Every structure is written in C-alpha cells, then in structure tokens.
Amino acid sequence: MKEPRNPFRFGPIALDEAFANREVELKELKNDAINGQDAWIVAPRRYGKSSLVWRAMQELASERMLVAHVNLMTAPTKTKLAEKLARSIYEDVASPLERAREKALAPFRGLRVTPTVTVSPDDASLSFGFTSGREAADVDATLERLFELPAELAAERGRRAVLIIDEFQEILDIDPQLPKLMRTVFEQQPDTAHLYLGSKRHLMERIFNDANEPFWRSARQLELGPIESKPFSAFIRKRFRDAGKDVAPEVTAELLDRSGGHPYATQEFCYFLWEATSPGEVAGFPEFERALTALLRSENTHFTLLWDEASSVQRVLLQALAAEPGRPFTKEYRARHGLPPATNVQKALTALRKRDLVQPRNGEQRIVEPFFDAWIRSVVTAEDEASN
C-alpha cells in the first residue's frame, strides 16, 4: 500500500484543501470586489496574502466576474509593468469576453506603444512585449490606457471587473509619479474594484494614510493577522487524520503557540512534524522536538543571512527579545540584557521593524519572523554560553 503524501505545504500558494481558515477575510475581500469597493491589504510576507487572493480570484471568476492580476515584484520597470498588465488583461478580461483571438487582441492595437505579441509553441499562450527606449510620455500613455481597459471591457459586456495589484508598495520604486496617474484613472471607475496588496507596512501606510499622497483615504484597509488557534487546530488535526496519522491536542496547542498562528510557519512546522511521525501513530512531544530541530536546520541559511545583515546593536536587541519579549526602552529591561542607551535601542528597533523582524504586540516588542527567536536561542546564544 502506498504511503500517503505529506498533506502540508509551505512556499507555494495554498490552494483547494491546503487553504487554511481565512473564511472571514475571504468573504470581506469578495464582497469588496463585488461591490466595487477599493481596499488595501497589508500583512508581513508569507502571511498568506497571495493564497487568499488566488482563492478569491477562483471564486469571483466562478461568479462571472473578470479578475485581472499583476504582481509588481515581477515588474521592476514601467515597460515590464505594461507587459504584465497587458497579458493579464488579455487572458483574464478580454479573452473571456471574446472567444476569437483577433477580437480579444483588438483593444491592444490602439495603444500609444503597440506591443509585440508572441505565441508560445508549448501551450499557445500569448506574451506581450513593449520595446524599450520609447519616450516616457508614450509609455505613460500606454499604461494609462491599459489601466482603463478592464473597466471599459467589462462595462461593454455588462460584467463587473476587479484589478488586483500585488506588492503594491513597489510602485514607488518603479516610478514615484505612477500613483498619481493610476489614481486619476481609477477614481473614474466606480464600478470596478481595485485591491492593493502589500508586505511593507511603512510604505503601504505612507501610500494610503499620508494626506500628501494621491491614494490618501482612497481605499479601506484589510489587515491579515494570525489565524485563530481553534480553527487552525481543527485544520491541522484533520489534515493529519486524512493522511493516516494523528497529532495530540497538546502538541497542536504548543505548535500554534510557537508559530503564533502564522500561516506559513504553521504549515512548515506541520510538514516536519508529519515527517517525524510514523504511519498510524500520534505525534507527541518527542516528534515535536525532532520536527523543530529539522525546521531550524532547514531555515539555517535564511536565519544566518538575517543575522549577518543586522548591526551589532540590532543583534544585541534581537538576543534580548529572543530571551524575553518586552519593553526594551525601560531601564530595568536594558539592564537585564546589557542593552545600550534608549536612543540606540530606538534606532535598532526602527530598523528591525522596517525589516519586519520585530513588531509590537500587546504592549511588548516581539520577534515576529517565525522561529527566528528559537534559532537565536539554539544557535547564537548557545554558542555565546559555550564560549564563556
């Protein structure tokens, strides 16, 4: 009999039965799209934004909504953005409306910069290319027209459209003037929803909360937090049982306490815990410890890079927070952990928060990069103690 596959996934987008417990956020996101309400979604990286959006896109498409999607991480220039946007509009908006390829391509022939359309020999899919070296005004006019197309094409066929822009904070690096152009177009599209996703909180807050920015108060905020323990625990136990194993309730509780309900981190820990558990057996604390060791070994390169990129003051602060989440500005806390003056701690903390390594929670500063605190305790602090 073939042994069941590991039911947990971390890294790729969680689809279908691997999608875990975002029902409230999913409903809100879908309602925003259906109602033409713009929204911006912020959460640290690996918090499941992309998985949530893909699930929403699947369900919205099944309800005959037209959903275009572009990730700005894959579009470092305005030309690349135009290429990615054109392809998404063609595949997800124009093609569902026009079965004939020529009709679906017709709107792109009126662009200021006419794209080169290439057909893939493998699957017959199309890709769009815009020649570099064109005048900036021509590229801007082309982007402006592309931003107009989803709403226009949908309205012509009595359909609703939504444009999803992932890692939206990158727009500032592509061109600081682009937000003004986009806002000018989007405010003329009351029936089309625009959903903006971001992983860098300070930049997203600047874009949407600064009165001097074009997108100021233009969209409602939806923040993704950790998944609640009760539904996540039920999800974990069901996945274990469906794959021929089980996990003790107290182990699940400890796992979620360590991961903090972080979607990626929880699925990652569960992956190693499932691997550490024999078929037909129940995962207990011996399996838990083996899984944690395997996880830290797997993440060692990533955590080492984070540590190497930290300044000396940041490292001292990280060691302190790994040992004791708390209030590092207080005299008592700094004395206990050998921290420098409060002004130095403030600079280090600001830098760590910009890197999404540390965030305040319930009045205390905590390391929020999953398992980084455990790695610091097991590797850095252990080495320091061994050398003393």
Domain count, the chain: 3
Residue type, 314: Q
Backbone angles phi, psi at 384, to 5 degrees: -60, -45
Low-confidence ranges of the chain (pLDDT < 70): 1-2, 11-21, 381-388
Whether residue 200 sits in one domain with residue 85: yes
Predicted local confidence at residue 47, as pLDDT: 73
Whether residue 377 sits in one domain with residue 331: yes
Q: DSSP per residue over 18-52, as a string?
A: G--S-HHHHHHHHHHHHHT--EEEE--TTSSHHHH
Q: Looking at the domain assignment, is residue 9 inside a domain?
A: no
Residue-wise pLDDT for 178-227, tens only, equals 999 999 999 999 999 999 998 888 899 999 999 999 999 999 998 877 78
Residue located via tokens 């640290």: 44
- Find, among 234, 238, 167, the residue nearest to 196 by Cα: 167
Q: Looking at the domain assignment, is residue 13 inside a domain?
A: no
User: Which one of 237, 263, 298 terminates a domain?
Assistant: 298
Whether residue 162 sits in one domain with residue 83: yes
Domain, as residue range, for 219? 22-223
Predicted local confidence at residue 12, as pLDDT: 52
Whether residue 216 sits in one domain with residue 139: yes
Predicted local confidence at residue 187, as pLDDT: 94
User: Which one of 240, 268, 298 terminates a domain?
Assistant: 298
In whole angstroms, give the CA distance from residue 55 to residue 355. Answer: 28
Q: Looking at the domain assignment, is residue 4 inside a domain?
A: no
- Other Cβ atoms closer than 10 A to 142: 24
Predicted local confidence at residue 379, as pLDDT: 87
CATH number of the domain residue 213 falls in: 3.40.50.300
Torsional sign, CA 365, 369, 371, 375: negative
Residue-wise pLDDT for 245-295, tens only, equals 999 999 999 999 988 888 888 999 999 999 999 999 999 999 999 999 999
User: Which one of 269, 298, 327 terminates a domain?
Assistant: 298
